[in-house]
Amino acid sequence: MIVTFLVFITILVLGIPGAIVFIPLAMITGNVKPLYAVCCGIVRSAFAVAGIRLQAEGMENVPAGQACIFMANHVSNLDPPALIPHIPGRTAGFAKRSVFNLPVFGYCLKLGEFIPVDRTGNRESAVESIGLARQVLDKGIHITTFVEGTRSRDGRLLPFKKGPFYLAAATGAPCIPVSIYGTEGLMAKGSFAIKPGTVHIVFHAPISPAEFATREDLLIAVREAIASGLPEWMRG
């Protein structure tokens, strides 16, 4: 728990002055990039304090100057902060609607154009989320989504949600499969304890939705790509 405490203190010490300066700046100027960069820097510092090493490969697979949909597996709460600072440019993503009610953090998500989602299975809400994500892509901002929809308890790939593939088919944006492993042992689902170790992030070659006759075919191709970058026991 000492590592967890140090991470919490690091976020507080860096985050409070960062919020005081850069949230009002984003509100006044309408430019969220400095706030985004500061948040990514705080995350990197917290990982360094925790003794967590990040190893990313395949960055050359990300097309330059084009908004993409990054589709990753999900095994830990450490996945988003590990992945997002490695994505070139700026990315938004999907987050539970309840998270937007959190003080400061929720407001930062709104400024960053993150998209609230419900887990009720409500079709109207899902359509609304897809529409908002499409607007974000139209601005040249990436979308990052964890396609299982929730964290895997044992690390093995779960069935994928269909929403991200509706978005991909509707926009034609390149899909970048991302494999993440290592986080499952550093912060397990249901635990707040953080451990030192190594996180592996693998960016695969882009997959064009236009090359597939159906969304199901696209889903299968993305799943195969993500699985190919994971240890065999995680492939489901």
Average pLDDT value for residue range 149-156: 92
Could you read off the pLDDT of 18-68 as tens digits, one per residue?
A: 999 999 999 999 999 999 999 999 999 999 999 999 999 999 999 999 999
Residue 128 has a pLDDT of: 87
For residue 37, is it within any domain?
A: no
- On the CB side of 181, CA atoms within 13 Å amount to 17
Is residue 45 within 8 A of residue 158, CB to CB? The reply is no
For residue 177, is it within any domain?
A: yes
For residue 144, is it within any domain?
A: yes
**Listed residue (87, 73, 107, 32) closest to 229, CA to CA:** 73
Whether residue 121 has pLDDT greater than 70: no
Tell me the C-alpha distance between 48 and 211, whole Å: 41
For residue 203, is it within any domain?
A: yes
For residue 78, is it within any domain?
A: yes
For residue 142, is it within any domain?
A: yes
Contacts 24+ apart (CB under 8 A), 4-7: 4/192, 4/193, 4/194, 6/49, 6/50, 7/46, 7/49, 7/50, 7/194
Could you read off the pLDDT of 78-118 as tens digits, one per residue?
A: 999 999 999 999 999 998 889 999 998 999 999 999 999 88
Average pLDDT value for residue range 175-193: 93
Structural domain boundaries, residue 207:
53-234
- % of the chain residues with pLDDT over 70: 99
Tell me the C-alpha distance between 167 and 104, whole Å: 29
For residue 136, is it within any domain?
A: yes
Is residue 83 within 8 A of residue 59, CB to CB? The reply is no
- Helices 215-228 and 163-171, interaxial angle, to 10°? 110
Which residues touch 136 (CB under 8 Å, ≥6 apart)? Answer: 67, 92, 113, 115, 143
Q: How many domains does the chain have?
A: 1
Q: What is the CATH number of the domain that holds 127?
A: 3.40.1130.10
- % of the chain residues with pLDDT over 90: 86
For residue 89, is it within any domain?
A: yes
Average pLDDT value for residue range 157-184: 96
Is residue 231 within 8 A of residue 181, CB to CB? The reply is yes
**CA 230 → CA 117, 201, 217, 226, distances in Å?**
27, 9, 21, 7
